[in-house]
Structure 1
Amino acid sequence: MRPKLLNITESRPPPASEIGLTSEAVDSDEPKFLKAVEMYFDRAAKYSDASPEVLKHIKSTDSVLSVTFPMEKDGKTVMIRGYRSQHSRHRLPCKGGIRYSSAVDLQEVEALSALMTYKCAVVDVPFGGGKGGIMIDPKEWTEAELERITRRFTLELCQKNFIGPGVDVPAPDVGTGPREMGWIADTYRNFNPQDVNGAACVTGKALSLGGVRGRTEATGLGVYYGVREFLAFPEVQAQIKHHGKIAGSTVIVQGFGNVGYWACKFFESSGARIVGVVEHDVAVHSDAGLDVEQLAQWRKEHGSFRGFPGATVVDQPMKVLEAECDVLIPAALERQIGLRNAHRIKAKLIGEAANGPVTPGADEVLRANGKVIVPDLLLNAGGVCVSYFEWAKNLSHLRFGRMTKRWDERSKGQLLDLVEGNAGRPLSEVERRQLIHGAEEHELVYSGLEDTMIVACNETHQTAVAKGIDYRTAALANSINKIAASLSGSGSIFTHA
C-alpha cells in the first residue's frame, strides 16, 4: 500500500517559538524582511560612491535554488522544501548559514543572503553572500530523520553546484549546529572524494571534523566586542548619557540560544549585570543581575525559565524587552521590534545580534527617541569572521599556532632570562609561565575576531560622523563602496556597449 501524501511543511503555520514576539511588535502593513533589507539598502545607496548601474547589480540576487524532495514519516510521505540563495558572487565562495524552521520561505532566504553580502563586506571577509533553509520544524523530526533530510538536501546542492570550498560554503543557523554541518561535510566528501579541500565545503563543524576553536561562541563574542567599541565613542556616550564602560552596565538579552547565551556570558564576565533574559513564551528579570550559568542549567533541566529561583518570572515577555536597561540585545529572530512597541523601548543602546530584529519604521522611531542602534550586518558578523578562519584553516590543512607556538615560547623565555639577569631576581614559575605562554588556537581566533570588529566599528563610526548619518546607513554605505570597488576593479560588470 502506497503511503499517503501529506505536505505538512507548507500547510502548517509557524509555531509560536518561530514567530517570537513579531505578532506583538509589528503592524500588518510594515514591510516584510526582504523589503526591509531593500529599504535600508536604498537609504544607504544615497551616501555611497557607486553608480546607479552598479547599485542595481549589487542589490539584485544572483541565483536561487528551490528544491522539493519526499521523506517518509510515520507511514506518510512528506514533501520537504529547501532553498539556497546566492545573492552576490563578486567574491567567492558565497557564505551563509542553513536554517531549519517552519518559517523559512524564499523571501526570507533572499533577504538573509543579501544581508550576508553586506555583512562580509563591512568586516572585510572575502566572501559573497549566501543563505539556505529547509522548511521544517526540527523538533518534529527524530535525529535519524533529520540526518536523512540533511543528506538529501546536500545531495541537491551537490548536483546543482551550490556547494563547494570555492563555490558556496554553508554554516549553522537557526535550528542547525555542528551535527548538521558534519552530515553535510560527509555527504559532500562522498560525492567529491578527490577534493583534497573537501573539509572546507562547510564551516561550524565539530573540532574532530576540522572545525576551529572559538567558532561556537564567535557570534556572541563579536556582539560583545561591537557593543564595547560603540560605548567607548564619545558621541555615543553623550547621546545616551552613559559612562562608556561595560562594567556596571545593565543588559537585557532577547533569545537564549547560542548567540544570546554567549553574549550574556561575555557581558557578565566583564562586569555587566544581565537584568533580563527574554524567550518567546516567558522572561526572567532581576535588578540585582541573573547568574547566566545557573539560568542555562535551569532551562536545560526544566525546559523553561519557569520556577527559576531568585528572579521574577514574567509571563508577558514583551514587558521585559521594553524594561529599563543600558543595552538591549535582540538575539532571536527578525522583526521583534516594530511600530507597535518601538516607542516603549527604554534601552539606551540596541545591539542587533539577530538578523533584522528592527523594522524600518521602528528604526526611525528609536533614533528619533535618542537611541543608538548598532546594526546587525556589523554587530553579528563574528560568526562569519570565525567561519572565515575555519575555512582558511581547512584550506591550509594546518591548525593555527602549530608552527609558531613553541618558537614563540622559547623566544620569550630567552628574553626573560635577560630581564631576570638585569633585574637581579628570578621570576616565580607562575609569572614565567604567564609571560612566555604561546598563543593557543582559540586565543588566535579571539584576537583575529577582536581586531576585525575594532576596525569595522571604527570605519562605521568615522563614516557616520563624516556624513552625519546613522550607524546602519554608514555600515551599509561602506559595504556598498567595497562591493562596488570589487566589481569595477575586476571588470565583471558591463553597463555600456
Structure 2
Amino acid sequence: MENYSFFDNVNKFVGQAAGYLELPQGLLDQIKQCNSVYQMNFPVKLDNGNYEVIEAYRVQHSHHRLPVKGGIRYSMAVNEDEVKALAALMSYKCALVDVPFGGAKGGVRIDTRKYSESELEKITRRYTTELIRKNFISPAQDVPAPDYGTGAREMAWIADTYSSMNTGELNALACVTGKPISLHGIRGRTEATGRGVFYGIRTAVDVTEDMESLGLTPGLEGKRIIIQGLGNVGYYSAKYLQEGGAIITGIAEYNGGIYDPNGLDVEEVYQLKQEKGSILDYKNAKNIQNSIELLEYDCDILVPAALENQITAENAPGVKAKIIGEAANGPVTTEAANILQEKGLRILPDFYLNAGGVTVSYFEWLKNLSHVAFGRMDKRYEELTNRSMVAAMEEITGHQLSDTQRSSLVRGAGEIDIVNSGLEETMMNAYYTIWEIMKTKETGSLRIASFISAMEKIATAYVARGIFP
C-alpha cells in the first residue's frame, strides 16, 4: 500500500459516479479538485523553553457554497493527501444531506499525548492565527470543527483567538462549531456523529426488501455488531445501537480488542478504557491482541469507527458481516469495496453515515448567527398548550393520567429535542434519497448513489452561480 492515495481513492468513486451523470468534463474536473491547499510551518515555544516547528494544513475543497466546513484533526498521520481527501468527502457529505456548506478540512501533525495542555493551547492558538492571516477562518468563509484528536476545548481556544483578533464582529463565535455549551455551543454536538451512525444503520435495516436479500430480518433488534474504535464516534455509535436492541459482540481498539458472542456492555467497556487505558481483560470476553482480526469475525453488521484504509483488498475476502457501516472516513478502499460488493455485502458509505457531526454543527452555526438557543422562545408556550389539551382530554374522558404520562405529553421541546429531531430527519431523508437513486439508476451501490446525489447538487450550485453554463 506504499503508493496508496486517499485522495485518489475518493476520486475513483467520483469517477464511477460520473458515469451515471452527463456533466461537462470541465465541471467534473472542478468538482474533483481542491480549490485551495494551505500548508504552514510555525514555531511554538514548549514548556521546557525549547522551540518546535509544527507542520499543519487547511484545505478548502469546494467553493460551490460558502462558508466551507470541516474539522481539524491532530494526528501524526496528518499529511496533505489525507487532508485533501477528507476535505473532498466533506463537500460530498454536506451536499448529500443538504447542509449549505462547501467542504474543507484541517490537520496539525502532532501526537497530542506528548504535549501538555498549555503547549496544546499554544499550538491551537498559533494555528488559528495562521488561518486568520490567510482568511481561512470566519463565519462567512471557513468554519472549522472538532475531529480526531480535538474537541470542545480546542474549539474554545480557536473561538477566543478569532474573537480577540476580530473585535466588534457580531457573529465572531460562529467562526467555529463544536464549542462548549458555555461558549454558545449546542447540546447534542458531542454525540452527534455517533447518534447519526445509529439513525443511519437503523434506517437501513428497516428496509424489508434489503434485509431479505441479505438473509436478515428487518429491524435492529438482535443484530450482532462489531465496532472498530471506541473513541467519540465508536462509543456513541455502540451505545445507541445497543440501546436500540443490537448486540455488541466485539470491540476493537488500536492496542487490542475483545469479543464475546453473548454481548458486551458498552458502558462498562468504555469505563474500563477510561480507567486502565485498555479494553483488554473485560469479564468473560476473549482478548484479541491483533485487533484488526476482529474485522473478519462473524457478525451481522461491522462498524469501522477508527481511521481510514482499514478494510483493504488483503482482508476484504475474509469479512463475514452482511452490512458495513462506515462510521470512520474512508475505512474501505476502492478495491476492497469492489470485493465486498461482489460478495453481496451492503456498504453504508462514510460520507452519508457519519454526517451527523456536520449536520449538528450546521445547527450550532445557525444558533450562533441567530443569537438564540433552539426552544427558548416556544418551549413554555408548547407546554402550556399541551397542558390545556391534556386537561380537556381528561375532562372529556373522565380518566386521569398518571404523573409520568402527563409529564410526557405536556413537555415542550428543548434544544436537545430539536437537535435530535433535526438530525433524525436529515439522516432518514438522505438514506431514502440515495436508496431510490441506487434502485432507479441500478448502481448496485449506495456509495455510488451517494456520490451521484451529492455531485448533482454541487454541479447545480456551480451552474446557478454562472461559473459553468
Q: TM-score range by the shorter chain?
A: over 0.9
**Deviation string, structure 1 residues 38-92 (Cα, Å, up to 9, x no partner):** 1011011111243222111111111111111112334432211111000011111
SS in 2 for 1:271: coil
CA distance in 2 between counterparts of 1:90 and 1:175 reads 29
Task: Please state if 1:493 is matched with 2:465.
Answer: no
CA distance in 2 between counterparts of 1:320 and 1:53 reads 43
Structure 2 alignment gaps of length 5 or more: none
CA distance in 1 between counterparts of 2:448 and 2:280 reads 40
CA distance in 1 between counterparts of 2:357 and 2:280 reads 30
The answer to whether the Cα contact below 8 Å between 2:41 and 2:55 also exists between their aligned partners in 1 is yes
Task: Please name the residue that 1:227 is paired with.
Answer: 201
The answer to whether the Cα contact below 8 Å between 2:288 and 2:294 also exists between their aligned partners in 1 is yes
Deviation at 1:223, TM superposition (A): 0.5
Instruction: Name the aligned partner's letter for residue 399 of structure 1.
Output: A
CA distance in 2 between counterparts of 1:175 and 1:443 reads 28
CA distance in 1 between counterparts of 2:388 and 2:22 reads 52
Instruction: Name the aligned partner's letter for residue 8 of structure 2.
Output: K
Residues 309-458 of structure 1: matches in 2 within 5 Å?
309-458=283-432
Deviation at 1:405, TM superposition (A): 0.4
CA distance in 2 between counterparts of 1:318 and 1:370 reads 22
SS in 2 for 1:67: strand
> Pick from 307, 315, 324: which aligns with 2:281?
307
Deviation at 1:28, TM superposition (A): 4.1
Task: Please state if 1:461 is matched with 2:435.
Answer: yes
The answer to whether the Cα contact below 8 Å between 1:92 and 1:126 also exists between their aligned partners in 2 is yes
CA distance in 2 between counterparts of 1:114 and 1:278 reads 27
Instruction: Name the aligned partner's letter for residue 300 of structure 1.
Output: Q
Task: Please name the residue that 1:35 is paired with.
Answer: 8
CA distance in 1 between counterparts of 2:348 and 2:22 reads 23
Task: Please name the residue that 2:447 is paired with.
Answer: 472
Single out whichever of 56-65 and 70-79 deviates more from structure 2. 70-79
The answer to whether the Cα contact below 8 Å between 1:49 and 1:481 also exists between their aligned partners in 2 is no
Deviation at 1:311, TM superposition (A): 1.1
Deviation at 1:483, TM superposition (A): 0.6
Deviation at 1:493, TM superposition (A): 3.2
**Deviation string, structure 1 residues 232-267 (Cα, Å, up to 9, x no partner):** 223321221110211111110001000000001001
Task: Please state if 1:66 is matched with 2:39.
Answer: yes
**Deviation string, structure 1 residues 151-209 (Cα, Å, up to 9, x no partner):** 00000011110000011000000100000000000000000011111111000111001
CA distance in 1 between counterparts of 2:10 and 2:209 reads 27
Instruction: Name the aligned partner's letter for residue 347 of structure 1.
Output: A
The answer to whether the Cα contact below 8 Å between 1:215 and 1:383 also exists between their aligned partners in 2 is yes
CA distance in 1 between counterparts of 2:80 and 2:19 reads 28
CA distance in 2 between counterparts of 1:48 and 1:118 reads 15
Deviation at 1:321, TM superposition (A): 1.6
CA distance in 2 between counterparts of 1:113 and 1:431 reads 47
Task: Please name the residue that 1:481 is paired with.
Answer: 456
SS in 1 for 2:394: helix
CA distance in 2 between counterparts of 1:138 and 1:56 reads 37
Once the two structures are aligned, what percentage of the paired residues are identical? 47
Deviation at 1:314, TM superposition (A): 1.1
Task: Please name the residue that 2:246 is paired with.
Answer: 272
> Pick from 192, 209, 219: which aligns with 1:245?
219
SS in 1 for 2:297: coil
Task: Please name the residue that 1:294 is paired with.
Answer: 268
TM-score (normalizing by structure 1) = 0.92
CA distance in 2 between counterparts of 1:165 and 1:245 reads 41
Single out whichever of 428-437 and 341-350 deviates more from structure 2. 428-437
CA distance in 2 between counterparts of 1:448 and 1:190 reads 33
CA distance in 1 between counterparts of 2:21 and 2:71 reads 28
> Pick from 76, 98, 113: which aligns with 1:139?
113
Task: Please state if 1:76 is matched with 2:55.
Answer: no
The answer to whether the Cα contact below 8 Å between 2:70 and 2:145 also exists between their aligned partners in 1 is yes
SS in 1 for 2:423: helix
Deviation at 1:301, TM superposition (A): 0.8
The answer to whether the Cα contact below 8 Å between 1:283 and 1:316 also exists between their aligned partners in 2 is yes
CA distance in 2 between counterparts of 1:47 and 1:300 reads 47
Instruction: Name the aligned partner's letter for residue 69 of structure 1.
Output: F
CA distance in 1 between counterparts of 2:36 and 2:58 reads 9
CA distance in 1 between counterparts of 2:402 and 2:255 reads 53
Deviation at 1:280, TM superposition (A): 1.4
Deviation at 1:305, TM superposition (A): 1.5
Task: Please state if 1:102 is matched with 2:76.
Answer: yes
CA distance in 1 between counterparts of 2:428 and 2:359 reads 13
CA distance in 2 between counterparts of 1:426 and 1:290 reads 41
The answer to whether the Cα contact below 8 Å between 1:255 and 1:332 also exists between their aligned partners in 2 is yes
Higher relative contact order (CA 8 A, sep 6+): 1
The answer to whether the Cα contact below 8 Å between 2:208 and 2:217 also exists between their aligned partners in 1 is no
Give the total of aligned pairs: 467
Instruction: Name the aligned partner's letter for residue 41 of structure 1.
Output: V
CA distance in 1 between counterparts of 2:301 and 2:465 reads 42
Instruction: Name the aligned partner's letter for residue 266 of structure 2.
Output: V
Instruction: Name the aligned partner's letter for residue 72 of structure 1.
Output: K
The answer to whether the Cα contact below 8 Å between 2:326 and 2:348 also exists between their aligned partners in 1 is yes
Deviation at 1:307, TM superposition (A): 2.2
CA distance in 1 between counterparts of 2:390 and 2:277 reads 52
CA RMSD of aligned residues (A): 1.1
Task: Please name the residue that 1:48 is paired with.
Answer: 21
Deviation at 1:93, TM superposition (A): 0.7
SS in 1 for 2:230: coil
Instruction: Name the aligned partner's letter for residue 233 of structure 1.
Output: V
Deviation at 1:271, TM superposition (A): 1.2
Runs of 4+ aligned structure 1 residues displaced above 4 Å come to none
Instruction: Name the aligned partner's letter for residue 71 of structure 1.
Output: V
The answer to whether the Cα contact below 8 Å between 1:50 and 1:480 also exists between their aligned partners in 2 is no
> Pick from 238, 256, 259: which aligns with 1:285?
259
CA distance in 1 between counterparts of 2:319 and 2:151 reads 32
